[in-house]
Amino acid sequence: MFDVWRSMVARCENPKATHFKDYGGRGIVVCDRWKEYPAFFADMAWDYAKGLTIERNDVNGRYDPMNCRWISRSEQALNKRTTLRVEFRGRRMAFVSAWKASGALVNLRTAWSRYSRYGWDLERALTGAPMKQGRRRKEGRCGNGHLLTATSTFISRRSGRVNCKACVSANTARYRARLLSQPEAQA
């Protein structure tokens, strides 16, 4: 936890620190109380666990007891990815803002994987019904109606389930097209 504190202070106050330009350089500061490690420890140790990382709720706000919480690395990675800018109802905004604006009907991780991994269109990724309530499959067809045969399918090594080749390649193509159309997506 001391290392977390030390890097937090460094990226806000030391122009030579690795990420200074994204923190101190953007006006992000550490509150006066937290300039001393014991005070930081007193405020934050109670729910700290090894490997957690400190996150500000308001990304433009400072490091202080009201604005900070501990999150896991995978949650942090999700938060970073979902700053990807998208066109939502006529306005450009971060994916996470679109998710909030849509009412956060599905959880963020689900919405993000629908959009980025499965290639759903944005509106449906954010507001669509949970996948489990999806349409019922016809016998011998995938969810999108492709005929399932020995040559049109493969067994996923990861899930062990039968995958439809036509759907997988369509999703992959949509995902690639989306990445290529958004050069600023490179984080």
Residue 137 neighbours by CB distance under 10 Å? 12
Query: Using the rule CB under 5 A, is 39 a contact of Zn ion?
Result: no
Closest-CA residue to 87 (of 79, 102, 98): 98
Residue 28, Ramachandran bin (φ over 0: left; ψ between -120 and 50: alpha; else beta): beta
Query: Using the rule CB under 5 A, is 156 a contact of Zn ion?
Result: no
Query: Using the rule CB under 5 A, is 167 a contact of Zn ion?
Result: yes
Residue with tokens 């899930």: 159
Query: Using the rule CB under 5 A, is 72 a contact of Zn ion?
Result: no
Query: Using the rule CB under 5 A, is 164 a contact of Zn ion?
Result: yes
Total site size for Zn ion, rule CB under 5 A: 6
C-beta closer to Zn ion: residue 17 or 164: 164
Query: Using the rule CB under 5 A, is 166 a contact of Zn ion?
Result: yes
Query: Using the rule CB under 5 A, is 144 a contact of Zn ion?
Result: yes
Closest-CA residue to 145 (of 154, 133, 137): 137
Enumerate binding residues for Zn ion (CB under 5 A).
142, 144, 146, 164, 166-167
